[in-house]
């Protein structure tokens, strides 16, 4: 079970990084980056 949680945490961290990158780009709205 611990391995599954670690994988989930890694996926969430990647999503958070994508959201931060999307926010950093003013030209690209955040919702589009999430869809990508």
Per-residue model confidence (pLDDT) at position 21: 75
pTM: 0.40
Q: Containing domain of residue 19, as a range? A: 2-35
HSE, side-chain direction, 13 A CA sphere, residue 35: 5
Per-residue model confidence (pLDDT) at position 7: 79
Round to whole Å and give the CA distance between 19 and 26.
12
Per-residue model confidence (pLDDT) at position 31: 61
- Measured over the CA atoms of residue 24, residue 21, residue 35 and residue 6, the dihedral's sign is negative
Write the pLDDT tens digit of every residue in 1-36: 667 777 778 888 888 888 877 666 555 555 655 554
Q: First CA to last CA across the chain, in angstroms?
A: 29
Give one word for 28, left, alpha or beta, with left for phi > 0 and alpha for psi -120 to 50: beta
């Amino acid at each position: 079970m611990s391995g599954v949680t670690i994988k989930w945490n890694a996926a969430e961290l990647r999503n958070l990084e994508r959201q931060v990158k999307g926010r950093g780009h003013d030209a690209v709205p955040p919702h589009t980056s999430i869809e990508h």
